[in-house]
Structure 1
Amino acid sequence: MAGGTIHQHLEAAQHARSAGQRDVARKHLEAVLAIDSEEPSARNLLGVDALERQDAGASADHFEIACRREPDNRGHWINLATARRMLGNAAAEEAALEKALTLDQTDLLALIRLAELYERQGRSAKAADRWRAVIQLSSHIEDPSPEFLAIVERAKNAVREEKRQLATAVADALDAELSEASVRDRRRMQAASDAWLGKRAIYANHCEGLHYPFLPADEFFDREHFTWLEQLEAATAVVIEELKAVLATPDVGLVPYISMPEGMPANKWSELDKSLDWGALHLWKEGERNDAVCARVPRTAALLESLPLPRISGRAPNAFFSILKAGAHIPPHTGVTNVRSVVHLPLIVPAGCAFRVGGETRSWRVGEAFVFDDTIEHEAWNRSNEDRAVLIIDTWNPHLSEHERAMIRRLYEAADRQRLG
């Protein structure tokens, strides 16, 4: 093999390897080293040859020289990691793979090898981090091979299992604390941990009208803000009795809750437009008392009069019986303004009815009122064969001071005078 240039010997070595003549290829590579003892391509190929011969020690020596000579070559570092793996040197393997990733954080092979290394070491959280990166990068690969798809499925299983283990660890750690926490603290901590674990989303306010800033964006308000809820709940039987009497009459007086102007383009409300699938019987609407309806349910009307409801001419209060027909669905939507909160007093609730606000879904329970922020996305459904009835009442957002409420009234009054003037 005397004579010839480095390039000629490397080319001849590649041809010989392709032809299966490994001994010939090795002699050409040794000829290269006689010219340049650290020539990186020759060292890398000799390292591969040593790997194929299961000589991990020689292979690691060759790859280390190649990495020292060409430190920016990711392939050398990954090959070195393979040799170190065969030698059982996990720390050195990890260092080589991390070096490959410092050159390119999207190196799939390095990520997969690191994930596998961490799994062998029982470091499931670190393995899951690398598997997550593999999953993310896999979405950019067109026409992946069945072998790669199997790797991606393995990655997904590992991430799912790590998430399950984390959720279990968090639940175990918080179990005693949550059992001693107040209703408010328990609910908030549970929502925080669920969001952190990816089990739910945290929703923000979206107001179609006035957005009053810096108020807490709470899906369901704490009961302690509304001391009069017990008074409302205590009247449940009376309210149900009066509502059922009205519903038994030939002319109930329900109107569609959704009634869009003619010519409105199709939207999420189209299916409910002018439909009694979601019907309303208004006792108060936009600050106007419906005397005819109130006369039909006098004790319910008197109850409403006794509650601290907002009084804004032309706007509030609003109070109505909401009737959701069997099989009906109110699509996800948000309300007008977060200066108000909305009260539900469940009256007639067949099985299969539920209500979602943001990331929390609740089943209505007859006589158990709750208050929510309707500027956070919410929806409702009735998957039963019977109609569902709820008394809905607007009230103030409990985080507003009395002075703020007065200023809000002035704001609306001024705006309405300007529009009507």
Structure 2
Amino acid sequence: MAFDAGQADAMIREGVAAMQRRDAATARRLFEALVDPKAGVAPPWLLLAQACRLGGDDAAEESAIDRLLADQPNSLRGLVMKGDCRARAGDDRAASAFYTRALQTAPRDGSVPPALAADLRRVEQAIEANRQSFQAHMEAKLAQVQGMRAGRRFAEAMDILSGRRQVYLQQPNSFYFPGLPQIQFYEREQFPWVAELEAAAPAIREELIALMGDEDSFAPYIRARTDRPNPPNVLLEDPSWGAAYIWKEGALVPEIAERCPRTVAALRAAPMPDIRSRSPMALFSRLHPGTHIQPHNGMINTRLICHLPLIVPPGCGLRVGNETREWEEGRMLIFDDSIEHEAWNRGDETRVVLLFEIWRPEIDAAEREALTALFESIVDY
């Protein structure tokens, strides 16, 4: 039987009123009449699904929701209800998939009715519970095999699979060299020159302490420029993140280098790039208490950044991608700064590291020569 718009509207109002008084049978009968192809009106699949849920008919509810999502794949209420259907059926993986899509679809401006907002909070809790259940299931299975002893890389893959970590990739903001491995932290044992530089750490620290007696030796790490737009960095011209350059833009800084001869000598052991007007680059990086270097990406991915920690109070840390490490005085940290990273000093004293760059070990001699010519041509231009 066909209905005109007025009749359909009256039937919907009557059906909603029936649900409000918990009369699921009447509401379902009215909505089923309206979803009949002969009705000639837009089918109220969501209302029918709600009436079926009220009546405890899970199969009919899910069938109506499937029809709704076929027409409106981003229906927020439909996605939540579909997830609920799968959860009641014991299919937690499918439930999480629909719940996650619902959260991705929800508006970010808070313009969600209170009842639906409560559903979304419930959905978030369900996703987390399912994640924990999935994690426990995997760990129980892997405890029976060799997987749990497969090492750090496997453990990180497990964390990514379970949602405890996200994936961070190289995203340099100036130059990208393809085909390089996505490694956040390199292990110090991979580099034969590290032991020699670490052995010089006490001497370097002595020179640093003498330098710190002269406040003019340090300047804000982020400087304003007149020939470029200033970066939107809260530490612009802020001495809380200070730098005393030993090499800057490829040249020794005489007033610092002369006061730190043992530091200069020790750094010559590292494979620092030699690129006119660009590299080497080496400095003492100072971070005052309460300072947070916000997440950011470096300019290029052809280098690695090295930190030789010299003064490290408690409460300091460095995150690169999905891994956080703490500095230990005298022990090198080496990382890819083209991956998002941040650092902080939540302690009560100043933190200082010797910071410098090296070639990535995966870049061979011919590529280094070509990259040097490329970067120098950019400088010339």
Going from structure 1 to structure 2, the CA distance change for 1:373 and 1:70 (only over 3 Å counts) comes to same
Going from structure 1 to structure 2, the CA distance change for 1:53 and 1:389 (only over 3 Å counts) comes to closer
Matches for 1:250-289 after TM superposition, within 5 Å: 250=214, 253-262=217-226, 267-269=231-233, 271-273=235-237, 275-289=238-252
- Asked whether the 8 Å contact 2:24–2:51 carries over to 1, the reply is no
Query: Cα deviations across residues 22-72 of structure 1 (Å, max 9, x unaligned)?
Result: xxxxxxxxxxxxxxxxxxxxxx9xx99xx948699xx78x95997475699
AA partner of residue 223 (structure 2): S
Give secondary structure in 1 for the equivalent of 2:313: coil
Q: Find out whether 1:207 has 2:173 as its counterpart.
A: yes
- Asked whether the 8 Å contact 1:81–1:94 carries over to 2, the reply is no
Counterpart of 1:131 (choices 95, 99, 109) is: 99
The CA distance in 2 between the partners of 1:298 and 1:80, in whole Å, is: 78
Q: Which protein has the larger Cα radius of gyration, Structure 1 or Structure 2?
A: 1
Question: Which stretches in structure 1 are left out of the alignment for 5+ residues?
Answer: 19-43
- Asked whether the 8 Å contact 2:296–2:342 carries over to 1, the reply is yes
- Asked whether the 8 Å contact 2:52–2:58 carries over to 1, the reply is no
- Asked whether the 8 Å contact 1:205–1:217 carries over to 2, the reply is no
The equivalent of 1:26 in structure 2 is none
Scaled by the length of structure 1, the TM-score of the pair is 0.71
AA partner of residue 257 (structure 1): Y
Counterpart of 1:166 (choices 134, 152, 158) is: 134
Going from structure 1 to structure 2, the CA distance change for 1:231 and 1:146 (only over 3 Å counts) comes to same
Counterpart of 1:238 (choices 203, 223, 231) is: 203
Q: Find out whether 1:180 has 2:154 as its counterpart.
A: no
Counterpart of 1:382 (choices 345, 348, 366) is: 345
Aligned positions, number: 373
> Aligned-pair distance for 1:75?
3.4
- Asked whether the 8 Å contact 1:345–1:366 carries over to 2, the reply is yes
- Asked whether the 8 Å contact 1:81–1:97 carries over to 2, the reply is no
Counterpart of 2:315 (choices 343, 352, 362) is: 352
The CA distance in 2 between the partners of 1:370 and 1:182, in whole Å, is: 20
The CA distance in 2 between the partners of 1:364 and 1:118, in whole Å, is: 47
AA partner of residue 91 (structure 2): R
- Asked whether the 8 Å contact 2:76–2:102 carries over to 1, the reply is yes
The CA distance in 1 between the partners of 2:71 and 2:202, in whole Å, is: 71
- Asked whether the 8 Å contact 1:67–1:73 carries over to 2, the reply is no
Query: Cα deviations across residues 380-405 of structure 1 (Å, max 9, x unaligned)?
Result: 22222211110112110122011111
The CA distance in 1 between the partners of 2:224 and 2:50, in whole Å, is: 67
Counterpart of 2:122 (choices 143, 148, 154) is: 154
- Asked whether the 8 Å contact 2:35–2:44 carries over to 1, the reply is no
AA partner of residue 367 (structure 1): G
Give secondary structure in 1 for the equivalent of 2:126: helix
The CA distance in 2 between the partners of 1:93 and 1:177, in whole Å, is: 44
Scaled by the length of structure 2, the TM-score of the pair is 0.77
More helix per residue: 1
Q: Find out whether 1:327 has 2:290 as its counterpart.
A: yes
Q: Percent identity?
A: 30
- Asked whether the 8 Å contact 1:63–1:77 carries over to 2, the reply is no
Moved more, 363-372 or 125-134: 125-134
The CA distance in 2 between the partners of 1:308 and 1:103, in whole Å, is: 61
The equivalent of 1:117 in structure 2 is 85
> Aligned-pair distance for 1:322?
1.3
Structure with the larger RCO, 1 or 2 (CA within 8 Å, 6+ apart): 2
